[in-house]
Structure 1
Amino acid sequence: MGMVNLSQKTAVLLSLGGLLLLSACSSVSLVQEPERPVVAQTQEQEVEEVAAVAAPAAAPAATPAYQNTTVAQLQQLIQARSVQELRTAYNGRFGASLLFAADSMTYYVALFQQREFWRVFKTTDESLAERMYTQYRQDTVDYAAADLDRIKLQAEVAKAEKQLNESADQLTVLQNDLALQRQQEALAIAQREESRREAQALAEQEREAREQLRELQRQIKDLEQQRAGMLQRQKGR
């Protein structure tokens, strides 16, 4: 049972180094291809990262029989720059590559996630290699579906949160506008009531002034009549 666990750990370590070593083959293609973000790496990065992956496998060492795998063979060919990357497809964090070893006319189909090989298929049958590449490529679509949905949902959540914040700001503005409107309306009502009371007071003052004026005019008229009567009596003497 301990040997199986050790072998499984070694397989993981070998898989971790697979995609790093895969970068070497893309730079030694018969027909030069553009660099890819996962497979293509610089030579210095290869040396450093392969050393980092290989270090944990040194103790305890994997059994020689388990090292004799298709993944290990492909890694050795990549390290020796003896394979050419024919095509690679990416879906999210997953990818599938079709590689060709010209010396042996052998095709290798690899399925990987980020920097880790999951599966490697080896064949000399070009048609079979193409079919396996198509299958692996479809596998990347299936594996990445949930991840891509997560990315889209994150974007939708971010958009919804943005709209929520904008709506909250708009609501705050409307609430402030309504509060200001009510304040101004209350002020206008108070000013109108004050103006009405002032108008009533002025109207009362005006009425009293008119009454006083009429009384003064009546007194003036009485005095004028008295004066006229006195003048007539003086003339009669």
Structure 2
Amino acid sequence: MKLLLNRRRALPADGIAHLVRIDRNPSLSADAIVDAPVHDAPAAGPGHAAERPVRPVATLHPMPAMPSQSNGRVAHFADPGEIEWLVEAGAVTPFRVFRAFDYSVSLLFHAKELKYYVALYQDGTPWRALRANDLDAAQGIFHQFEQQAMRLADGQTRRVQLEAQNEQLTKMIAQSEAQAEQLRKALQRSATQEQAVTSRQHQVRREVAQLEAQRVAAQAQLNKVHRQIHQLDLAAHDGVPHLTSR
């Protein structure tokens, strides 16, 4: 049971419609309205109060139910091949482009149809594509595809970083090995030089010892010769008479 407004075909003299309770036949359509007689409330006599005062209401008309309209932000599937054809034909204008290694995302505007296309590319070939009716929705899709492209490119990003790090480490290893080789050569030269110095010092000491021995022998020989000269001088003066000075 529902309360419905019953509009009489001819309004009463007072021009006021009243609410009545009626049965609704389930077999009737939603737009059908059942007419029922209006029971006017009895007028209160003198000294009698009305049990339920009748409140006047405005006459209402049934409104047809309208289906909800789309807000224009729903994305629709787009054929990647069609996107490729539109790009080659120059029928779309790129609004935004994002690239991450082998993956790229393009936000395209088709001015002739006032449509926006967002396409995810792999190696320059459209892979996934969506169509939107307004720029805000297309930018939201672009952001989602951008995040997806970044996730897909994570492996390549890490690979490039590791390649660069390995190349740098290889370079540092080569530099370190070259520095170590220079140090080994320097130490080898130092050891060779030290050995040469040690050998030279031994040789010099031997030469000094030899010279010292020669000096001692020569000094002894000189002393011997001086003694001989002295003896010969004494022997030479033995035969000479001793003269006194006046």
| TMscore range, shorter length | 0.5 to 0.7
Q: Which runs of 5+ in 2 are unaligned?
A: 1-76
Structure 2 residue aligned with 1:224:
233
Question: Structure 1 residue 94 and structure 2 residue 103: aligned?
Answer: yes
Q: Which runs of 5+ in 1 are unaligned?
A: 1-67
Structure 2 residue aligned with 1:123:
132
Supply the distance in 1 between the matched residues of 2:192 and 2:202 (Cα, whole angstroms).
15
Distance 1:208 1:78, change over 3 A: closer
Identity %: 26
Q: 1:183 aligns with which of 164, 182, 192?
A: 192
Return the letter of the residue paired with 2:153: A
Structure 1 contact 109–120 (Cα < 8 Å) conserved: yes
Supply the distance in 1 between the matched residues of 2:186 and 2:235 (Cα, whole angstroms).
72
Structure 2 residue aligned with 1:209:
218
Structure 2 residue aligned with 1:113:
122
Q: 1:162 aligns with which of 168, 171, 185?
A: 171
| TM-superposed deviation, 1:174 | 0.9
What pairs up with 1:1-237 in 2 under 5 angstroms? 70-232=79-241
Structure 1 contact 85–99 (Cα < 8 Å) conserved: yes
Structure 2 contact 104–121 (Cα < 8 Å) conserved: yes
Supply the distance in 2 between the matched residues of 1:187 and 1:229 (Cα, whole angstroms).
62
Structure 1 contact 94–144 (Cα < 8 Å) conserved: yes
SS in 1 for 2:239: helix
SS in 1 for 2:91: coil
Supply the distance in 2 between the matched residues of 1:205 and 1:73 (Cα, whole angstroms).
111
SS in 2 for 1:202: helix
Structure 2 residue aligned with 1:63:
none
| TM-superposed deviation, 1:215 | 1.1
Q: Which fold has the larger relative contact order, with Cα–Cα distance below 8 Å and residues 6 or more apart in sequence?
A: 1
Return the letter of the residue paired with 2:165: E
Structure 1 contact 70–122 (Cα < 8 Å) conserved: no
Structure 1 contact 95–113 (Cα < 8 Å) conserved: yes
Structure 1 residue aligned with 2:43:
none
SS in 2 for 1:230: coil
Structure 1 length-normalised TM: 0.65
CA RMSD of aligned residues (A): 2.1
SS in 1 for 2:167: helix
Supply the distance in 2 between the matched residues of 1:221 and 1:115 (Cα, whole angstroms).
120
SS in 1 for 2:94: strand
Structure 1 residue aligned with 2:71:
none
Structure 1 residue aligned with 2:17:
none
Q: String of CA shifts for 1:24-54, please: whole Å, max 9, x gaps.
A: xxxxxxxxxxxxxxxxxxxxxxxxxxxxxxx
| TM-superposed deviation, 1:79 | 4.0
Moved segments of 4+, more than 4 Å: none
Structure 2 residue aligned with 1:42:
none
| TM-superposed deviation, 1:69 | 6.1
